[in-house]
Structures are given as structure tokens and as C-alpha cells.
Amino acid sequence: MKETVLFLTRHGQTEWNLQKRMQGHQNSALTTLGEQQAEWLRDRLEGENIGAIYSSTSPRALHTAQILRGNRSLSIHQQASLMEINMGIWEGMNTDQIEQEYPLQYSHFFTRPDLFIPPAPGET
């Protein structure tokens, strides 16, 4: 039986990551470091036999996938089902502000995701 190896990664660092802003479905461009992170991973995986690349439809994830693909002649399969969850009104907010205004939800998001209830119109 042929073994399948699955590599999972997240997008590189974004502008909003630097600003400590919640992303969710909203997009933020990769920083120079975020692009370098994708390049480092691409170089690390150079000897791997990669047969397919899947990405969410988020521009930051797609940009990361394009860098990871490098010179490989592979299509990038975009899947909306791989999107980050919708964070509702938290999207774009600074995490310090979220922690002050929604202390219990914020705590649950990071420490007890099983109890997390996102603010409207977010999703679980």
C-alpha cells in the first residue's frame, strides 16, 4: 500500500499579525517576513515528492501556496472549506481591545476553544 504524507502549514506572517489584529475572513497582505517564511518552507520541502497543493481561497493563504509551489508544475486547488473561521465583529480589531471588551470570549478562544462562542455574525 502506498503511503501518503500530508504537510499542513498556515500562511506566512501578515501585516495584521504584526498589528495584533484579528483576521478571520478579512485579508491582510503577507509581510516581507511572511514571504520569506514561505520561501524557507519551500526550500525545506524541495526534495519532497509533492503531488498536490491545496489552499483556502484567502489571498494570504493563496499567496503563501504560490510561493511554496515554486517551480513545480502543480495547480493550486482552492478550497473555501479551508478558510479560517469568520470572527464576526472581531475582524480587524486589535487583540488587546478584544481582550478588554470581551474578556471571557477572548479567554475561551485561546484557552478553551470548546467553550468559545464567537461574536455575531461569526461562526464556530
| 87 in Cβ contact with 109 (< 8 Å) | no
CA distances from 117 to 63, 77, 98, 104, 123 (A): 30, 30, 14, 10, 8
Classify 88 in phi/psi space as left (phi over 0), alpha (psi -120 to 50) or beta. left
Label residue 89 exposed, middle or buried (CB < 10 Å: 0-12, 13-18, 19+): middle
The set of catalytic residues is 11, 84
